[in-house]
Structure 1
């Protein structure tokens, strides 16, 4: 059984991922700013505490947990994300930076902290968006969000190259529309053809096995066209 860290676990895909892994017997550290939904599950295989990727103090809580409980991390799923749907000319640089502090800098800091605890067979899976893929369909109002999701695609490629001799493996999944709370915030009334549980099932399997076949790769996980 694996030790797995999942960010953004209070709802949507992250919440479903935590349940799926735990039900299979894996040990899960579920991190999110609001840990109440996960705590309410009372699942013996899930540990959780409030964690904000943009808060340096919360990384000290993570250090303490890992030092006391885990000597190795097998899978890190960078799932947390901050969404801003706002016209570019109305977006302050402070708001732009807030998105990047979570979606880019927070992902980089957490990954940097966890890599030393991972073996060659470890796997870092970062969740991006089709909006961050060059040449994909773009939507107005998502300048900060989609560009931040493009950044983690390139970071993943760079990490895979830098650690190709020692491991772990790094891959990034660019998701299409999934029926989550975040999707409703971005596109009110839109109904996606994929549920959070369906996507979580795919990500779970990929995080456990995808590193046997992929490293430094962007996989577009979308059933819509273009």
Structure 2
């Protein structure tokens, strides 16, 4: 069955790979990112590209209008957008925390509110978090704003799964370990991750399509390192 998939943060990294993976197997994708150029340049017939800042209400309204007029139904929402700042704690400004939470928490919540009216009981919302947001996992200096916001996204997912457990959709969150992306390179120059963005994208795609049959309200740690 062909599904309608909404993905945020598609201009690079995992989000970019997800667009190709889903469309290659025939699903319809609405690709959302502040910079639509990388995806729109691919000219994929079953992909709609839309410039969208998930922290901007006007942009969210455009997404809602498109879904109402063109799709009517959304099967999967992947909240993949992320904002990372790497600074020593004493140098972090209020604005650094605000931007991290605006994208990683408030933006994800607002996008979910935008898409929910178009989702049925068998729909699946997949939030992309980080191992840095998981209680008891290894933490890294400089990531106070990023990791704490990703921890908030995990809790938000658990709460929404409970709130919508009778009506659907299902809500799950993937806490990713290190993946070789532009964001990782910016945060940790020179670090080589064990997984490529495409490899992680394949896992996320499979989970987004089937994971709601087995999980709801769960945080899955997708990392081959410990703790």
Structure 2: distance between partners of 1:212 and 1:63: 27
The correspondence of residues 1-226 of structure 1 with structure 2, limited to 5 A, is: 1-226=2-227
Give SS of 1:173's match: strand
Structure 1: distance between partners of 2:127 and 2:226: 23
Give, in angstroms, the shift of residue 225 of structure 1: 2.2
Q: Compute the TM-score of the two structures, normalised by the length of structure 1.
A: 0.98
Q: Where in structure 2 are there 5+ consecutive unaligned residues?
A: none
Give SS of 1:219's match: strand
Give, in angstroms, the shift of residue 63 of structure 1: 2.0
Q: How many equivalent residue pairs?
A: 226
Residue 67 of structure 2 contacts residue 118 of structure 2 at CA under 8 Å; is this kept in 1? no
- RMSD, matched Cα: 0.7
Give, in angstroms, the shift of residue 55 of structure 1: 1.5
Q: Compute the TM-score of the two structures, normalised by the length of structure 2.
A: 0.98
Give SS of 2:77's match: strand
Give SS of 1:161's match: helix
Q: Where in structure 1 are there 5+ consecutive unaligned residues?
A: none
Runs of 4 or more above 3 Å deviation: none
Residue 86 of structure 2 contacts residue 187 of structure 2 at CA under 8 Å; is this kept in 1? yes
Structure 2: distance between partners of 1:124 and 1:163: 11
